[in-house]
A and B are shown apart, each in its own frame.
Chain A
Amino acid sequence: MEAGLNLKATELRLGLPGADLIYPAATNNKRSSPESDDSSAVTDHESAPAPKAQIVGWPPVRSYRKNNFPAKRSEAETGIYVKVSMDGAPYLRKIDLKVYNGYAELLKALETMFKLTIGDYSEREGYKGSEYAPAYEDKDGDLMLVGDVPWEMFMSSCKRLRVMKGSDARGLGCGV
């Protein structure tokens, strides 16, 4: 029973307990795999540190609350940041939708950020004549063409943006 004194388990530490444990490879894709970040092992009492690694299941809020959460904040100090991906680009960007007053400004910003041109929107033909078309993922997970709904509604339902190659966006209304 006394399989070694196991001093390590009983030593007084300031780090997260079990930081030396081997964490499993995440086979259940509902969980994010924790990173054992040794540099965060010593908590600095002078500051109030947030855990540097995303701890599984912390804080203890039900995933139900996390998933169904409204993105709005009560006071409007922080923006609505959404990820923007472009087909073929090596990494994603993030933009704050609150900064823009409407679609025109948003599209201009995307054109600047990714150095491309997005044509004009029309209800009938989408972004006909452009190499790229802007799409977004809404609350239900569906891929939608940017521009169909009023701007306010778009801001509250847009979860992430995707700049698609015109040829891929054919199904979304691009007349290419």
Chain B
Amino acid sequence: MAYSFPEEVLEHVFSFLCSDRDRNAVSLVCKSWHEIERWCRRRIFVGNCYAVSPEIVIRRFPELRAVEMKGKPHFADFNLVPEGWGAYLYPWIAAMAEAYPFLEEIRLKRMVVTDESLELISKSFKNFRVLVLSSCEGFTTDGLASIAANCRHLRELDLRECEVEDLSGHWLSHFPDSCTSLVSLNMSCLGSELANLIHRAPQLVELGTGAYSAEIRSDTFSNLADALSACKQLKGLSGFWDVVPAYLPAMYSVCSGITSLNLSYAAIPSSDLVKLISQCRNLQRLWVLDYIEDSGLEVVAASCKDLQELRVFPSDPFGAEPNVSLTEQGLVSVSEGCPKLKSVLYFCRQMSNAALIAIARNRPNFIRFRLCIIDPQAPDYLTHEPLDTGFGAIVENCKELRRLSMTGLLTDRVFKYIGTHAKKLEMLSIAFAGDSDLGLHHVLSGCDSLRKLEIRDCPFGDKALLANAAKLETMRSLWMSSCSVSFGACKVLAQKMPRLNVEVIDERGPPDSRPESCPVERLYVYRTVARQRLDMPDFVWNLSEDAALRFS
């Protein structure tokens, strides 16, 4: 190459590229760019830990500083993936401990993290700064103690939604006395001696508190108020499980700075909730329980003009009758009043096409729309029709929609609308919907940007799956449980598509002990460049690679 730039110049140019997509594109230009790029890449995101192996990652990117990784499929959150399926972190840490002594950041979602892994992290990476564990499990407070004690530069510790075994070893006391590096802390999954920690880390910008129960003494309460007012830069607050409303005023001093509020574990009556939220004028993200009710959401619509994300969780998910007055109207109000609203997760007990159409028209800027009606096949409660036209309006109006979850009575028609209009849709979650394979076919053939598809309890079978086999290689993963996909079709799929892992997850014993036409319990298909994984439990069968050998 007569006129190529010196490497240093190229590296400098590449350093301005933040998105993985751009970096990947750059690395395809030519061999030398590929080489330069891989040496200067510092951050990677692995959307499926089994799509690649630690060895492959380390071989290609020798100088990483930050790793983000996801493990189990999303439906694992709802107990649809049996325990022991996989997504173990340890092998990754063991490999990275050797390869990346300067690793600074680890962010994980839905992985099994043991105390051994945490200890190895704390001892292997001298510059370790950021640990984010989202929906992870397998560790105890002992593992956290290693992190607190050994990671002298820890800046961010986030344990959102994790199941942590609390061995009460006062792990927090392992933090050094003046923890000047800690800027963000979220331990809302654990009880804690909170005020002490706040005093130690006054530059906290984000705080996820532990449980606050009614047993708090009044001096602790005033300490908390003082402590919170000292956190001038506080932007995010979450936690507060058993908050007695009387302690909420402790938060008022920080309300105007708050941009993110997670009260989804707090049983606070609507009136107190509303008082608190209406003071948070700069709120961008709000997670609440349905105690907020339609009336509370109206106040949100009037006060929180910067709101971008709203999640309303059910306080009584298994009750047959509504315990609060939260209906589709709350969502309509917010869609009317909050011009920047783009992401919604909403649990309710009734919905109508009219409301969905109104919401779609009010808010064409949705990028995430997740609606869960408690009765999964509830029709339009006014007209008793399916909710096809309502969701059709959503995908037609919200042209930038990237994620959609649907519930309610839905026929193949809604899938036709989705296949026709949802061209930017990347993730779709379906449950108890559709009439036939045609529904699945519409989605697989029409949604050009689809990356993740998760389906449960739908009458989708072999035809649509096999007819769209090639599509699956363009996606990260497909999950189908309690559908009508036969074992025979899974084998055919595995044979047709060697670069997919076709996992049959079935707790009834070996699939070949039943007729080939028998539907499998669960199917998880994902593209991978790694070899078949070696850590499968006895209820998972990988049909790829040696499919012919094993089942002949």
Give a binary string over A40-72; 1 marks a CB under 8 Å from any B CB, 0 the rest: 000101101111001111111111111011101
Asked if B375 lies at the interface with its beta carbon under 8 angstroms from chain A, I say yes
Instruction: Spell out A's residues near B (CB within 8 Å).
Output: 1, 3-4, 6, 9-10, 12-13, 16-18, 21-22, 24-25, 27-28, 30-31, 43, 45-46, 48-51, 54-66, 68-70, 72-75, 77-78, 152-153, 156
Q: Are B459 and A65 interface neighbours, CB within 8 A?
A: no
B379 located at the interface, meaning its Cβ lies under 8 Å from any Cβ of chain A in the complex: yes
B61 within 8 A of A: no
What are the residues of chain A within 8 A of B75 when measuring CB–CB? Answer: 57
Bound together, the chains give a CA A46 to CA B435 distance in angstroms of: 21
Q: Is the CB of A65 within 8 A of B265?
A: yes
* Docked pose: A21 CA to B456 CA in angstroms: 13
| Given A9-B461, A18-B483, A62-B135, residue A56 in contact with residue B80 (CB < 8 A) | yes
Stretch at the interface among B13-21, B44-52, B311-319, B442-450: B311-319
Contact in complex: A73, B379 (CB < 8 Å): no
CA distance A78 to B322 in the complex (A): 11
- Whether A61 and B314, one on each chain, are in contact in the complex, defined by CB atoms closer than 8 angstroms, is yes
Q: Bound complex: CA of A158 vs CA of B320, how far in Å?
A: 23
By CB atoms of chain B within 10 A, which of A12, A50, A72, A74 has the most?
A74
Interface size on B, residues (CB 8 A): 74
| B79 at the binding interface (Cβ < 8 Å) | yes
B residues with a Cβ closer than 8 A to A are 75, 77-80, 82-83, 135, 161-163, 189, 214-215, 241-242, 264-270, 291, 313-318, 320, 323-324, 347, 349-350, 372, 374-379, 381, 384, 409, 431-432, 434-437, 456-459, 461-462, 466, 482-484, 486, 488-489, 492, 506-508, 516-517, 519, 521, 539
User: Is B79 a contact partner of A16 (Cβ separation < 8 A)?
Assistant: no
Nearest 10 Cβ contacts at the A-B interface: A57-B78, A50-B320, A74-B269, A10-B436, A70-B267, A17-B459, A9-B484, A45-B384, A74-B291, A72-B267
- Which residues of B sit under 8 angstroms from A57, Cβ to Cβ? 75, 78-80, 456
| Residue of B313, B316, B457 with most chain A CB atoms under a 10 A cut-off | B457
Chain A residue at minimum C-beta to C-beta distance from B377: A43
Task: Decide: A61 near B78, CB < 8 A? Known: A9-B436, A16-B432.
Answer: yes
Q: A1-B492, A70-B242 given as contacts; is B507 within 8 A of A60 (CB)?
A: no
- Residues from chain A with Cβ under 8 Å of B378 in the complex: 48
Number of A-B contacts (CB under 8 A): 158
Counting chain B CB atoms within 10 Å of each CB, which of A13, A24, A48, A49 scores highest?
Answer: A48
From known contacts A51-B376, A66-B317, infer whether A60 and B517 are also in contact, taking CB-CB under 8 Å: no
Q: Which residues of chain B have C-beta atoms less than 8 A from A66's C-beta?
A: 317
A98 CB to nearest chain B CB (Å): 15
Distance between Cα atoms of A51 and B372 in the complex (Å): 14
| A6 and B376 within 8 A (CB) | no
Asked if B214 and A156 make an inter-chain contact with CB atoms under 8 angstroms apart, the answer reads yes
Q: How far is the CA of A49 from the CA of B349 in the complex (A)?
A: 11
Q: With A18-B459, A46-B384, A74-B270 known to touch, is A56 a contact of B79 (CB < 8 Å)?
A: yes
User: Which residue of the partner chain, among A25, A30, A48, A68, contacts B375 with CB atoms under 8 Å?
Assistant: A48
Is B77's CB under 8 angstroms from A59's CB?
no
Say how far B484's CB is from chain A's closest CB, in angstroms: 4
**Once bound together, how far apart are the Cα atoms of A124 and B350, in whole Å?**
54
Can you pick out 11 interface pairs between chain A and chain B where the beta carbons lie within 8 Å of each other?
Answer: A9-B459, A24-B506, A24-B507, A24-B521, A46-B384, A48-B375, A50-B374, A57-B80, A63-B78, A70-B266, A74-B268
A21 in contact with B519 (CB, 8 Å): yes
Please report the C-alpha to C-alpha distance between residue A65 and residue B287 in the assembled complex, in whole angstroms: 13
**Complex Cα spacing A149 to B315, Å:** 27
Bound Cα distance from A10 to B436, whole angstroms: 5
Given A10-B435, A62-B135, A64-B189, are A3 and B507 also a contact pair (CB < 8 Å)?
A: no
**A-side contacts of B435, CB under 8 Å:** 10, 12-13
Complex Cα distance A13/B433, Å? 11
Q: Which residue of A lies closest to B289 (CB)?
A: A74
- Among B83, B266, B350, chain A packs the most CB atoms within 10 A around the CB of B83
B457 touches A61 (CB 8 A): no
Chain B neighbourhood of A60, CB < 8 A: 77-78, 372, 431
| Nearest CB of A to B467, in Å | 10
Chain A residues with CB under 8 A of B189: 64, 68
For A45, the chain B residues whose CB sits under 8 A away are 379, 384
Apart from the given pairs A59-B317, A75-B324, 8 other A-B contacts in the complex at a CB distance below 8 Å:
A1-B492, A10-B461, A46-B384, A48-B381, A60-B78, A62-B77, A63-B78, A66-B317
Q: Say whether B267 contacts A74, CB under 8 Å.
A: yes
Name the one of B135, B267, B347, B437 contacting A59, with C-beta atoms under 8 angstroms: B347
Q: Are B507 and A30 in contact (CB under 8 A)?
A: no
A residues near B521, Cβ cutoff 8 Å: 24
Given the contacts A12-B435, A70-B241, A59 and B492 also touching, CB distance less than 8 Å: no
Residues of B near A62 (CB, < 8 A) are 77-78, 135, 161
- B214 to nearest A CB, angstroms? 7
Q: Looking at the complex, which one of B162, B267, B349 makes contact with A48 (CB distance below 8 Å)?
A: B349
Distance from A55 Cβ to chain B, minimum over Cβ atoms (Å)? 7
User: Roughly how many angstroms separate A153 CA and B242 CA in the complex, as a whole number?
Assistant: 12
Residues of A within 8 A of B379 (CB): 45
Residues of B within 8 A of A31 (CB): 79, 82
For residue A75, which residues in chain B have a CB less than 8 angstroms away from its CB? 269, 324
Q: Are B457 and A16 in contact (CB under 8 A)?
A: yes
CA of A76 to CA of B539 in the docked complex: distance in angstroms? 46
In whole angstroms, how far apart are the Cα atoms of A134 and B378 in the complex?
Answer: 43
Q: Are A10 and B437 in contact (CB under 8 A)?
A: yes
The CA-CA distance from A9 to B484 in the complex, in Å, is: 7
Does B457 lie within 8 Å of A18, measured CB to CB?
yes
Q: Which residues of A contact B318 (CB under 8 A)?
A: 54, 59
Closest chain B residue, CB of each to CB of A4: B517
